[in-house]
Amino acid sequence: MGRVVLVTGVARDLGALFARTLAGNPEVDRVVGLDVVPPAGDLRGVKFVRADIRTPVVGKVIAVEDVDTVVHMNLGSSNRGSVKETNVIGTMQLLAACQAAPQVRKLVLQSSTAVYGTSPRDPAMFTESMSPRAGVRTGFPKDAVEVEGYTRGFARRRPDAVVTTLRLGTILSPHVRSAFGDYFSLPALPAVLGYDPRLQFLHPHDAIETLRLATLEDRPGTYNVVGDEVTTVSQAARRLGRPLVRLPSVGFTSLTYRLVRQMGSRFTPELSRLLTYGRVADTAALRDLFGYEPRYTTPQTLAEFADGVAPGLLAAVGGHRG
């Protein structure tokens, strides 16, 4: 039996990559891609529908295309004001449409490890059952927590549907644009004075694979998806050969925001807390319950990123590769 998969947020790099991967899969009849803006690249084999997820149009798309699986990848983390609308209201509309459409049998939500928040009271590693220690008050982490809440509500009201929530770590790749990718591409990396947080990175391969498994097979539940092992900001900077610019934690966000704009890039304010306290998630459940072994560890993901971007100013000092 063929399947029809609706993928939201295909204008983003990861969404487009996933939709293309899925379209090449023989088990899937049709992949419908949805976004407000047309994707930059070519969506081979994906039927693109340009629609705003915040409007009831999404329900019509589900009905017309006879969608049975919805992969929601439309959570954005940039600091534009409309993002919250898209994240929260868009998810509510999508879930309402899914609930009204009896043929929808599966929902896969791409969430983020940002739901754990970032604070000095964080445990060394977050498991899926833990909640944020200091709460999440603003921005993308708050959106992600709310979206997960609505998704749990959908799962309660539609017990027949298989709901998988994948909390993806921060993606780092020269080919997929992400907040950390932008950050580590800077010629000099602003870092918080006196803090050297532990970070984890996710290779897009592992992100796509877990999303694909969750879409094609029934693996309900909530899982952390991150690369194993950790690195610190200072270690990552050394491996990339980029100098760190230590700035005081007071006023770090605004100062860095301006500094990064001077360097001609963008800085997501959510990064500044991550650059202070860091965040590490546990992937034991992904291995044992979901049944997927991440292929790339954090250092391997970082090494691949280092190979893909221009060498840093200090690359001659260390010269580490891989």
Partner 1 sequence: MVDPAAQGADEVADVVPIGTRGRPGRGSRSASPSSAARSLAPAGGARRPGTPRRPAPVDDALRPAAVGEPAAEPDPVVTTAPVSEESFVDDVPPRAAHEPRATTAPRGAQRIPLEELVSALLDGARQVLGEDWERRAAEMVAALRRRLGGDYEIDVFGLDPQVQEILLAALRPVAEKWFRVEVRGADNIPDEGGALIVANHSGTVPIDAAVTGLAVKDHAHRNLRLLGADLVFDLPFVGQLARKTGATLACNEDAERLLRAGHIAGVWPEGFKGIGKPYSERYKLQRFGRGGFVSAAMRTQVPIVPVSIVGAEEIYPLVGNIPSLARLLGLPYIPITPFFPLLGPLGLIPLPSKWIIEFGEPIRTDAYPADAADDPMLVFNVTDQVRETIQQTLYSLLVDRGHPFL
Told to check if 198 binds partner 1 by CB under 8 A, we report yes
Residue 11 CB partners (closer than 8 Å, separation 6+): 35, 36, 37, 38, 39, 40
The dihedrals phi and psi of 172, each to the nearest 5 degrees, come to: -135, 115
Residues 68-97 interacting with partner 1 (rule: CB under 8 A)? none
Q: How far is the CB of 246 from partner 1 (least distance, A)?
A: 10
Q: What is the DSSP letter of 75?
A: -
Residues 37-66 interacting with partner 1 (rule: CB under 8 A)? none
Residue 227 CB partners (closer than 8 Å, separation 6+): 169, 200, 201, 202, 203, 206, 294, 296, 297, 298, 300, 301
Q: Which is nearer to partner 1, 45 or 311 (CB)?
A: 311
Q: Which is nearer to partner 1, 55 or 127 (CB)?
A: 127
Q: What is the DSSP letter of 134?
A: S
Q: How far is the CB of 237 from partner 1 (least distance, A)?
A: 7
Q: Binding partner 1 by CB under 8 A: which of 36, 57, 152, 195?
A: 195
Residues 266-285 interacting with partner 1 (rule: CB under 8 A)? 277, 280
Told to check if 300 binds partner 1 by CB under 8 A, we report no
Choose among 4, 3, 101: nearest CA to 56.
101
Residues binding partner 1: number (CB under 8 A): 34
Residue 104 CB partners (closer than 8 Å, separation 6+): 62, 67, 68, 69, 70, 98, 158, 161
Say how many C-beta atoms besides its own lie within 10 A of residue 316's C-beta.
9
Q: Binding partner 1 by CB under 8 A: which of 2, 159, 194, 251?
A: 194
Q: How far is the CB of 194 from partner 1 (least distance, A)?
A: 2
Residue 112 forms beta bridges with which residues?
Answer: 168
- In the three-class reduction of DSSP (H, G, I as helix; E, B as strand; rest coil), residue 316 is classed as helix
Q: Which is nearer to partner 1, 198 or 205 (CB)?
A: 198
Binding letters toward partner 1, positions 209-248, x by CB under 8 A = --------------------xxxx-xxxxxxxx-------
* Residues at the contact surface with partner 1, assessed by CB under 8 A: 120-125, 127, 130, 192-196, 198, 229-232, 234-241, 249, 277, 280, 314, 317-320
